[in-house]
């Protein structure tokens, strides 16, 4: 929790320009701040240029909406998703709502594009590693045999059949866990909801995911990319209206064992936590895709991530490996701004050519 709070302070420091809230109230458009505790994380809402009453009403609606999605999409607390998981285990079909059916279809497409590195069908593995709990897991990691018991059944979101609202799985070992893209999808919805209310300048920041509407007065909204090793930011990025930035890292949730931090991001090819990449950030215009891609690039690792970014339609990404080396695509490098002093050394990595592929299989090695 302290980490999250510190992250928010950093973001707030970057978001809120020199003027104090009081000065803004007296001289310029109003800036409304509220922190919601939803989706298992703190969500900071900043609404600019609206009356206090309008901003407050919008923020309250966001709180209700996030709460609703959190309940429906939760991986282990009873709700629509857990009901679907129970039906899958029993070999039945289950009727979800249109929203969840659409999210699962999007999940299948993103998973295919990632070559299966992003796979919301591996919930059984996530649970086995102890991440289906509100507090970080303690105790030894699962045994090889326990991991193999799940891996041998090859669960994946590709096994789902989605016909309208009816969802079933050809593989009863599939357990859905939307944790890697639900936050991004929820931010997409929240932004749409604000727009529908006529709000055209806002920021939504949900631990690792930031989505902006419009601009911060006459400036773009500016957000930080966190340093995964210590308190602070690696760089800042100015987001254009409608852009999102999602970061996945091993600093938010992990299992600590024998002095090692085991990431909550698992490699679906091995069943083990990701090691080489400690942070991946993706800038895009779709929250669900950016969130899914940040997870997929973390799994892909140093050799393969450019291929996966290309296949997922991502141009703007930054990764940090366990040694602290920062990698960025040319599009991302062009957007980075120093926070204090200079930017860290950055290795620029060109994305491979866009080769159309209609299967879900990655090349064996980076090309
Ligand atoms: P964060 O929650 O920090 O934004 P991610 O977006 O990377 O992190 O999501 C990680 C979560 O997604 C894990 O807690 C787990 O629930 C789930 N997950 C872990 N590994 C994968 C994977 N390879 N593909 C899809 N979901 C995953
Ligand atoms: Mg993610």
Using CA atoms, how far residue 263 sits from 244, 246, 295, 306, 309, in Å, is: 23, 17, 11, 21, 21
Atom of ligand 1 nearest to the CA of 209: 4
94, β-bridge pairs = 167
Report which bound ligand comes closest to the CA of 133.
1
Q: What is the pLDDT of residue 11?
A: 52
> Quick one: which of 197, 203, 196, 194 has its CA closest to 245?
203
> Distance between alpha carbon 153 and the CA centroid of its chain, in Å?
27
Looking at residue 352, the DSSP 8-state letter turns out to be: P
Specify whether the CB–CB gap between 233 and 255 falls below 8 A: no
Res 207: pLDDT: 84
Task: Give the ligand with the smallest distance to the CA of 41.
Answer: 1
Residue 28's pLDDT is what? 58
Per-residue model confidence (pLDDT) at position 354: 81
Please, is 291 exposed, middle or buried when counting C-beta atoms within 10 Å of its C-beta (0-12, 13-18, 19+)?
Answer: buried
Distance in angstroms (rounded) separating the CA atoms of residues 283 and 342: 21
- 91 sits in the region (left: phi over 0; alpha: psi -120 to 50; else beta) called left
Among 179, 185, 251, the mutation site with the greatest number of ligand 1 atoms within 8 A of its Cβ is 179
Nearest CA to ligand 1 atom 12: 180
**Which atom number of ligand 1 is nearest to the Cα of residue 120?**
25
Ligand 1 mutation pick, 43, 178, 180, 280, max ligand atoms within 8 A of CB: 180
CA 213 to centroid of ligand 1, rounded, Å: 25
pLDDT at 253: 64
pLDDT computed for residue 132 by the predictor: 95
Which ranges of the chain have pLDDT less than 50?
A: 1-10, 12-26, 366-367
> Ligand 1 pocket: which residues have CB below 6 Å?
118-120, 122, 126, 131, 177, 179-180, 183, 208, 248, 252-253, 264-266, 268, 291, 294-295, 299
pLDDT tens digits, one per residue of 146-190? 999 999 999 999 999 999 999 999 999 999 999 999 999 999 999
Give Cα 196 to chain centroid, integer Å. Answer: 24
Give phi and psi for 100, each to the nearest 5.
Answer: -70, -40
How many other β-carbons are positioned within 10 Å of the β-carbon of residue 196? Answer: 10
φ, ψ (nearest 5 deg) of residue 84: -65, -45
Rounded to the nearest whole angstrom, what is the distance from the C-alpha of residue 218 to the centroid of ligand 1? 36
Ligand 2 geometric centre to CA of 294 (Å):
5
Ligand nearest to the CA of 118: 1
């Amino acid at each position: 929790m302290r980490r999250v709070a510190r992250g928010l302070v950093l973001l707030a420091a970057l978001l809120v320009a020199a003027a104090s809230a009081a000065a803004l109230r007296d001289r310029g458009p109003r800036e409304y701040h509220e922190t919601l505790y939803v989706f298992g994380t703190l969500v900071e809402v900043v609404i600019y240029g609206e009356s206090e009453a309008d901003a407050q009403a919008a923020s309250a609606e966001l709180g209700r909406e996030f709460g609703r999605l959190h309940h429906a999409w939760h991986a282990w607390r009873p709700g629509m998703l857990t009901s679907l998981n129970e039906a899958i285990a029993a070999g039945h079909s289950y009727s979800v709502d249109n929203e969840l059916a659409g999210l699962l279809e999007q999940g299948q497409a993103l998973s295919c594009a990632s070559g299966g590195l992003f796979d919301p069908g591996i919930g059984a593995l996530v649970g086995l590693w102890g991440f289906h709990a509100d507090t970080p897991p303690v105790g030894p990691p699962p045994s090889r045999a326990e991991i193999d018991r799940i891996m041998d059944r090859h669960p994946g979101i590709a096994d789902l059949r989605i016909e309208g609202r009816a969802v079933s799985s050809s593989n009863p070992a599939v357990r859905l866990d939307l944790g890697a893209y639900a936050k991004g999808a929820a931010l997409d919805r929240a932004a749409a909801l604000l727009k529908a209310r006529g709000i055209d300048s806002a920021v939504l920041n949900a631990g690792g995911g930031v989505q902006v509407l419009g601009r911060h007065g006459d400036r773009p909204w500016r957000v930080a990319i966190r340093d995964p090793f210590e308190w602070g930011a690696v760089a800042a990025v100015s987001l254009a209206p409608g852009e999102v930035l999602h970061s996945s890292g091993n600093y938010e949730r992990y299992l600590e064992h024998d002095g090692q931090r085991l990431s909550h991001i698992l490699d679906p090819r091995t069943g083990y936590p990701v090691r080489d990449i400690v942070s991946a950030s993706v800038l895009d215009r779709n929250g669900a895709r950016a969130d899914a891609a940040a997870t997929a690039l973390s799994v892909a690792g140093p050799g393969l991530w450019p291929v996966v970014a290309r296949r997922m339609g991502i141009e703007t990404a930054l990764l940090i490996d366990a040694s602290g080396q920062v990698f960025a695509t040319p599009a991302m490098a062009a957007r980075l701004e120093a926070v204090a002093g200079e930017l860290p050394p950055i290795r620029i990595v060109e994305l491979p050519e866009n080769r159309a592929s209609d299967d879900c299989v990655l090349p064996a090695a980076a090309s």
